[in-house]
Amino acid sequence: MSTNNGKSQSLDKALQLLECFSDVNFELRVSDFCKMLNMSQSSVSRLINTLADRGFVEKNDFSGAYYLGKKVISLAGISLNNYEIRKQALPELHNLENKTNLSANLAILDHTKMFYLAHVDSKRSPKMYTLVGYTNPLHSTGIGKVLLAHLDDEELNQIVNDIPLTPYTIKTIDNKQKLLKELELTRKRGYAIELEELALGRACIAAPVRNRSGKVVAGVSLSGPLSEIRLEEQQEELAKILIEATDLISIKMGFMHSPSNLSEINY
């Protein structure tokens, strides 16, 4: 069945089922889908059975609930493995972690959020989950500030006007003018700082990655607990290490300008 605008209504509804899954709702029953999507039980059952047959969801025989299947993992792996910037950045992320004992992250702009493409845990504090595929706000993260800082004025103003400047902590920048000043500082010094703006007790430092034309296409950050990142003591040293890494990734992506020529690039 198709809708008037040429889209498949059945496919759209099946995708809506998949989008119901989250960290909180990692297992869902047919009745849960019905409530969340205001769909009939027969419609949900038909769609979920089709998704199960194709391996996109699997059923917990004990609880009767469904969870995302291995086919989703396979497709995600194919997508990740074919992101050129991820392939070029991963070795440098591992090098950054080895040099600093901090977590290293790669993220790109995804509409009005930052989207993680790669993450290397600090060996001192490994996580039990992955950040890859997750999003975070732009205004309260180091990579987010880097990505915003290098947009052209029109796109920057549009995004800043569209995103809610949610105060996640008492240190979050939740004022547009203050944010624009922070972005100007980020451009001038070549990196961004986030100090307990997304979560208390944590901080990060981030720098931009450029493509062949010089456009900023991603950001890389070093992050960790305040006790390990110690920004007040080693901000300049971490910035130097980080920028060397992002410069190398940029060169791998085809960027050939020297740092002295960065002022010539049209942001």
Distance CA 150, CA 190 (A): 10
Contact criterion met (CB below 8 Å) for 52 and 58: yes
Same domain, 66 and 95: no
Give the model's pLDDT for residue 224: 93
Same domain, 87 and 188: yes
Is 1 among the domain residues?
Answer: no
Contacts of 59 (CB under 8 A, 6+ apart): 52, 65, 66
Is 142 among the domain residues?
Answer: yes
Task: Specify the residue for token string 């600093």.
Answer: 100
183 phi/psi in degrees, rounded to 5? -70, -35
pLDDT digits (tens, 9 = 90+) for 187-239: 999 999 999 999 999 999 999 999 999 999 999 999 999 999 999 899 999 99
Distance CA 14, CA 16 (A): 5
Is 207 among the domain residues?
Answer: yes
pLDDT exceeds cutoff 70 at 117: yes
State the CATH number of the domain containing residue 22: 1.10.10.10
Same domain, 147 and 255: yes
In single-letter form, the type of residue at position 44 comes to V
Is 138 among the domain residues?
Answer: yes
For residue 113, the enclosing domain spans: 83-264
Distance CA 263, CA 150 (A): 12
State the CATH number of the domain containing residue 235: 3.30.450.40
Same domain, 68 and 91: no
pLDDT digits (tens, 9 = 90+) for 29-41: 999 999 999 999 9
Same domain, 102 and 191: yes
Query: Of 54, 74, 94, which one is at a domain's C-terminal end?
Result: 74
Is 3 among the domain residues?
Answer: no
What pTM did the predictor assign?
A: 0.83
Distance CA 140, CA 137 (A): 6
pLDDT digits (tens, 9 = 90+) for 153-186: 999 999 999 899 999 999 999 999 999 999 999 9
Contacts of 26 (CB under 8 A, 6+ apart): 67, 68
Give the model's pLDDT for residue 263: 40
Residue 97 banded pLDDT, cuts 50, 70, 90: very high
Same domain, 228 and 96: yes
Distance CA 124, CA 97 (A): 10
Give the model's pLDDT for residue 2: 46
Same domain, 150 and 224: yes
Number of domains in the chain: 2
Same domain, 26 and 124: no
Same domain, 134 and 90: yes
Query: Of 74, 106, 122, which one is at a domain's C-terminal end?
Result: 74
Question: How far does CA 107 lie from the centroid of its chain?
Answer: 5
pLDDT digits (tens, 9 = 90+) for 44-93: 999 999 999 999 999 998 999 999 999 998 998 888 888 899 999 999 99
Same domain, 185 and 64: no
Same domain, 219 and 153: yes
Nearest CA among 193, 220, 188, 215 for reference residue 204: 193
Is 61 among the domain residues?
Answer: yes
Give the model's pLDDT for residue 256: 82
The 3-state DSSP class for residue 84 equals helix
- Say if residue 99 is exposed, middle or buried (CB neighbours under 10 Å; 0-12, 13-18, 19+): middle
Same domain, 209 and 128: yes
Query: Of 74, 101, 121, which one is at a domain's C-terminal end?
Result: 74
Is 141 among the domain residues?
Answer: yes
